[in-house]
Chain A
Amino acid sequence: SYVLTQPPSVSVAPGKTARITCGGNNIGSKSVHWYQQKPGQAPVLVIYYDSDRPSGIPERFSGSNSGNTATLTISRVEAGDEADYYCQVWDSSSDPPVVFGGGTKLTVL
Protein backbone atom coordinates (compact mmCIF):
# COMPACT_ATOMS: atom_id res chain seq x y z
CA SER A 1 0.00 0.00 0.00
CA TYR A 2 1.02 3.60 -0.48
CA VAL A 3 3.09 5.20 2.27
CA LEU A 4 3.37 8.91 3.08
CA THR A 5 6.44 9.88 5.11
CA GLN A 6 6.56 13.06 7.18
CA PRO A 7 9.26 14.24 9.58
CA PRO A 8 8.04 13.81 13.16
CA SER A 9 8.91 17.37 14.09
CA VAL A 10 9.86 20.74 12.66
CA SER A 11 10.90 23.75 14.72
CA VAL A 12 10.91 27.35 13.57
CA ALA A 13 11.28 30.78 15.12
CA PRO A 14 8.41 33.26 14.93
CA GLY A 15 8.44 35.26 11.73
CA LYS A 16 10.48 32.66 9.85
CA THR A 17 9.37 30.16 7.23
CA ALA A 18 8.44 26.56 8.06
CA ARG A 19 8.53 23.83 5.45
CA ILE A 20 6.89 20.48 6.18
CA THR A 21 7.52 17.70 3.71
CA CYS A 22 5.44 14.68 2.73
CA GLY A 23 7.29 11.99 0.83
CA GLY A 24 5.70 9.33 -1.34
CA ASN A 25 6.49 7.36 -4.48
CA ASN A 26 5.73 9.69 -7.41
CA ILE A 27 3.51 11.78 -5.15
CA GLY A 28 3.68 14.51 -7.78
CA SER A 29 1.16 12.52 -9.80
CA LYS A 30 -1.37 12.62 -6.97
CA SER A 31 -3.46 15.32 -5.36
CA VAL A 32 -2.24 16.20 -1.88
CA HIS A 33 -4.26 17.74 0.91
CA TRP A 34 -2.92 19.19 4.17
CA TYR A 35 -4.61 19.40 7.57
CA GLN A 36 -3.75 21.30 10.71
CA GLN A 37 -4.69 19.77 14.05
CA LYS A 38 -4.37 21.52 17.38
CA PRO A 39 -4.58 19.59 20.66
CA GLY A 40 -8.06 18.35 21.44
CA GLN A 41 -9.49 19.59 18.15
CA ALA A 42 -10.50 18.06 14.86
CA PRO A 43 -8.25 18.46 11.84
CA VAL A 44 -8.75 21.57 9.73
CA LEU A 45 -8.12 21.60 5.99
CA VAL A 46 -5.44 24.21 5.18
CA ILE A 47 -4.35 23.23 1.65
CA TYR A 48 -6.17 21.11 -0.91
CA TYR A 49 -5.29 19.85 -4.38
CA ASP A 50 -1.61 20.55 -3.75
CA SER A 51 -1.79 24.34 -3.50
CA ASP A 52 -5.34 25.67 -3.09
CA ARG A 53 -6.35 27.41 0.11
CA PRO A 54 -9.83 27.16 1.62
CA SER A 55 -11.52 30.41 2.46
CA GLY A 56 -10.41 31.67 5.83
CA ILE A 57 -6.94 30.15 5.65
CA PRO A 58 -4.22 32.83 5.66
CA GLU A 59 -2.16 33.41 2.53
CA ARG A 60 0.87 32.52 4.65
CA PHE A 61 -0.05 28.88 4.01
CA SER A 62 0.98 27.50 0.63
CA GLY A 63 1.67 24.12 -0.91
CA SER A 64 3.62 22.53 -3.72
CA ASN A 65 3.95 19.02 -5.07
CA SER A 66 6.50 17.55 -7.46
CA GLY A 67 8.39 14.32 -7.95
CA ASN A 68 8.47 12.34 -4.71
CA THR A 69 7.83 15.22 -2.31
CA ALA A 70 4.94 17.51 -1.44
CA THR A 71 5.64 20.52 0.75
CA LEU A 72 3.51 22.66 3.01
CA THR A 73 5.09 26.08 3.50
CA ILE A 74 4.08 28.43 6.29
CA SER A 75 5.51 31.93 5.92
CA ARG A 76 5.90 34.43 8.73
CA VAL A 77 5.15 31.75 11.29
CA GLU A 78 3.08 32.77 14.31
CA ALA A 79 2.72 31.14 17.69
CA GLY A 80 -0.82 30.13 16.74
CA ASP A 81 0.53 27.95 13.91
CA GLU A 82 1.94 25.49 16.43
CA ALA A 83 0.08 22.25 15.71
CA ASP A 84 0.31 18.84 14.10
CA TYR A 85 0.15 18.82 10.31
CA TYR A 86 -0.95 15.85 8.20
CA CYS A 87 -0.75 15.24 4.47
CA GLN A 88 -3.31 13.03 2.71
CA VAL A 89 -3.78 11.51 -0.73
CA TRP A 90 -6.11 9.11 -2.48
CA ASP A 91 -4.39 5.99 -3.83
CA SER A 92 -6.58 3.56 -5.73
CA SER A 93 -4.18 0.67 -5.20
CA SER A 94 -4.17 0.98 -1.41
CA ASP A 95 -6.70 -0.12 1.14
CA PRO A 96 -7.97 2.01 2.54
CA PRO A 97 -7.56 4.24 -0.52
CA VAL A 98 -7.48 7.35 1.70
CA VAL A 99 -3.90 7.55 2.96
CA PHE A 100 -2.68 9.92 5.67
CA GLY A 101 0.88 10.74 6.59
CA GLY A 102 2.06 10.13 10.13
CA GLY A 103 1.97 13.82 11.00
CA THR A 104 4.53 16.51 11.78
CA LYS A 105 4.58 18.45 15.03
CA LEU A 106 5.36 22.10 14.26
CA THR A 107 6.96 23.84 17.23
CA VAL A 108 7.26 27.61 17.26
CA LEU A 109 10.34 28.47 19.28
Chain B
Amino acid sequence: QVQLQQSGPGLVKPSQTLSLTCAISGDSVSSNSAAWNWIRQSPSRGLEWLGRTYYRSKWYNDYAVSVKSRITINPDTSKNQFSLQLNSVTPEDTAVYYCARAPTGMVQDPFDYWGQGTLVTVSS
Protein backbone atom coordinates (compact mmCIF):
# COMPACT_ATOMS: atom_id res chain seq x y z
CA GLN B 1 0.00 0.00 0.00
CA VAL B 2 1.45 3.32 -1.08
CA GLN B 3 1.33 6.17 1.41
CA LEU B 4 2.34 9.77 0.89
CA GLN B 5 3.02 11.88 3.98
CA GLN B 6 3.35 15.62 3.55
CA SER B 7 5.19 18.02 5.81
CA GLY B 8 6.01 21.70 5.80
CA PRO B 9 4.90 25.06 7.18
CA GLY B 10 1.36 26.27 6.86
CA LEU B 11 2.19 29.97 6.83
CA VAL B 12 4.55 31.74 4.45
CA LYS B 13 5.20 35.45 4.15
CA PRO B 14 4.75 37.21 0.81
CA SER B 15 7.86 37.19 -1.40
CA GLN B 16 9.32 34.24 0.51
CA THR B 17 9.64 30.58 -0.52
CA LEU B 18 7.03 27.90 0.05
CA SER B 19 8.66 24.55 0.82
CA LEU B 20 6.87 21.23 1.24
CA THR B 21 8.05 17.64 1.37
CA CYS B 22 6.25 14.41 0.47
CA ALA B 23 7.62 11.21 2.02
CA ILE B 24 6.86 8.02 0.12
CA SER B 25 6.25 4.58 1.58
CA GLY B 26 5.31 1.51 -0.40
CA ASP B 27 7.00 2.75 -3.59
CA SER B 28 10.22 4.42 -4.63
CA VAL B 29 10.80 7.98 -5.83
CA SER B 30 13.31 6.37 -8.21
CA SER B 31 10.67 4.07 -9.72
CA ASN B 32 11.06 3.64 -13.47
CA SER B 33 7.31 3.78 -13.93
CA ALA B 34 5.73 6.21 -11.46
CA ALA B 35 5.74 9.99 -11.60
CA TRP B 36 5.53 12.19 -8.53
CA ASN B 37 3.31 15.24 -8.71
CA TRP B 38 2.30 18.39 -6.86
CA ILE B 39 -1.24 19.66 -7.20
CA ARG B 40 -2.91 22.55 -5.38
CA GLN B 41 -6.52 23.46 -4.72
CA SER B 42 -8.07 26.82 -3.99
CA PRO B 43 -11.62 28.18 -4.23
CA SER B 44 -10.60 30.59 -6.99
CA ARG B 45 -8.50 28.23 -9.14
CA GLY B 46 -9.93 24.80 -8.33
CA LEU B 47 -7.57 21.86 -8.68
CA GLU B 48 -4.38 22.95 -10.42
CA TRP B 49 -1.51 20.69 -11.41
CA LEU B 50 1.87 22.31 -10.71
CA GLY B 51 4.45 19.85 -11.85
CA ARG B 52 6.11 16.47 -11.49
CA THR B 53 9.40 14.65 -11.21
CA TYR B 54 10.17 11.17 -12.50
CA TYR B 55 13.10 8.85 -13.18
CA ARG B 56 13.67 7.13 -16.50
CA SER B 57 17.38 6.32 -16.37
CA LYS B 58 17.80 9.98 -15.48
CA TRP B 59 15.68 12.57 -13.70
CA TYR B 60 13.07 14.62 -15.51
CA ASN B 61 10.82 17.48 -14.42
CA ASP B 62 7.73 19.02 -15.99
CA TYR B 63 6.19 22.24 -14.72
CA ALA B 64 3.05 24.21 -15.44
CA VAL B 65 3.82 27.37 -17.41
CA SER B 66 1.95 29.48 -14.84
CA VAL B 67 4.55 28.71 -12.16
CA LYS B 68 7.54 27.58 -14.25
CA SER B 69 9.71 30.56 -13.36
CA ARG B 70 9.15 30.04 -9.63
CA ILE B 71 8.89 26.27 -9.05
CA THR B 72 11.37 23.49 -8.32
CA ILE B 73 10.47 19.88 -7.63
CA ASN B 74 13.35 17.75 -6.39
CA PRO B 75 13.67 14.08 -5.57
CA ASP B 76 15.58 12.95 -2.49
CA THR B 77 16.54 9.34 -3.03
CA SER B 78 18.27 9.01 0.35
CA LYS B 79 15.00 9.71 2.14
CA ASN B 80 12.63 8.39 -0.54
CA GLN B 81 10.78 11.66 -0.81
CA PHE B 82 10.32 14.62 -3.09
CA SER B 83 9.90 18.29 -2.43
CA LEU B 84 8.20 21.39 -3.75
CA GLN B 85 9.70 24.84 -3.64
CA LEU B 86 7.71 27.80 -4.88
CA ASN B 87 9.53 31.13 -4.82
CA SER B 88 8.28 34.68 -4.54
CA VAL B 89 4.87 33.70 -3.25
CA THR B 90 1.90 36.04 -3.16
CA PRO B 91 -1.50 35.70 -1.50
CA GLU B 92 -2.70 34.10 -4.77
CA ASP B 93 -0.56 31.08 -3.88
CA THR B 94 -2.68 30.43 -0.82
CA ALA B 95 -4.11 26.94 -1.32
CA VAL B 96 -4.19 23.38 -0.11
CA TYR B 97 -1.17 21.64 -1.64
CA TYR B 98 -1.20 17.92 -2.41
CA CYS B 99 1.43 15.49 -3.54
CA ALA B 100 0.19 12.62 -5.68
CA ARG B 101 1.47 9.60 -7.57
CA ALA B 102 0.82 8.80 -11.21
CA PRO B 103 1.47 5.07 -11.32
CA THR B 104 2.55 3.90 -14.76
CA GLY B 105 4.39 6.73 -16.42
CA MET B 106 1.86 7.27 -19.19
CA VAL B 107 0.95 10.91 -19.64
CA GLN B 108 -2.74 10.04 -19.41
CA ASP B 109 -2.23 8.45 -15.97
CA PRO B 110 -4.66 9.09 -13.14
CA PHE B 111 -3.43 10.11 -9.72
CA ASP B 112 -3.99 7.02 -7.66
CA TYR B 113 -2.47 8.00 -4.32
CA TRP B 114 -2.55 11.44 -2.71
CA GLY B 115 -0.95 13.00 0.32
CA GLN B 116 -3.15 14.33 3.09
CA GLY B 117 -2.88 17.91 1.91
CA THR B 118 -1.25 20.96 3.49
CA LEU B 119 -3.05 24.28 3.76
CA VAL B 120 -0.49 26.95 2.98
CA THR B 121 -1.49 30.53 3.72
CA VAL B 122 0.55 33.38 2.28
CA SER B 123 0.25 36.30 4.64
CA SER B 124 2.42 38.73 6.52
Report the separation of the CA atoms of residues A103 and B43 in the bound assembly, to the nearest whole angstrom.
11
Partner of A96, one of B65, B111, B112, B117: B65
Nearest CB of chain B from residue A30's CB, rounded to whole Å: 8
Give, as a whole number of angstroms, the nearest-CB distance from A97 to chain B: 7
Distance of A23 from chain B, by nearest CB (Å): 15
- Stretch of A11-19, A38-46, A64-72, A75-83 lying at the B interface: A38-46
In the complex, chain A residues 14-31 whose Cβ is within 8 Å of any chain B Cβ: 30-31
Q: Is the contact region of chain A dominated by helix, strand, or loop, or is it mixed?
A: loop
Count A interface residues, CB 8 Å.
24
Count residues of chain B with CB under 8 A from any CB of chain A.
21
Within 8 A of A (CB), among B29-86: 37, 39, 46-50, 64-66
Complex CA gap A54/B108 in Å reads 16
Across-interface contacts of A100 in B (CB, < 8 A)? 46-49
B87 at the interface (CB under 8 A from A): no
Q: Is the CB of A48 within 8 A of B65?
A: no
Complex interface: chain B residues within 8 A of A44 (CB): 114
Contact A45 B112 (CB under 8 A): yes
Contact yes or no, A95 B65, CB < 8 A: yes
Partner of A102, one of B46, B65, B66, B116: B46
Interface set, chain B 77-124, CB cutoff 8 A to A = 98, 107-112, 114-117
Please give 5 more A-B residue pairs, beta carbons under 8 A apart, in addition to A35-B111, A48-B112: A41-B117, A42-B117, A44-B114, A54-B112, A90-B108
Q: Interface residues, chain B, CB within 8 Å of chain A?
A: 37, 39, 46-50, 64-66, 98, 107-112, 114-117
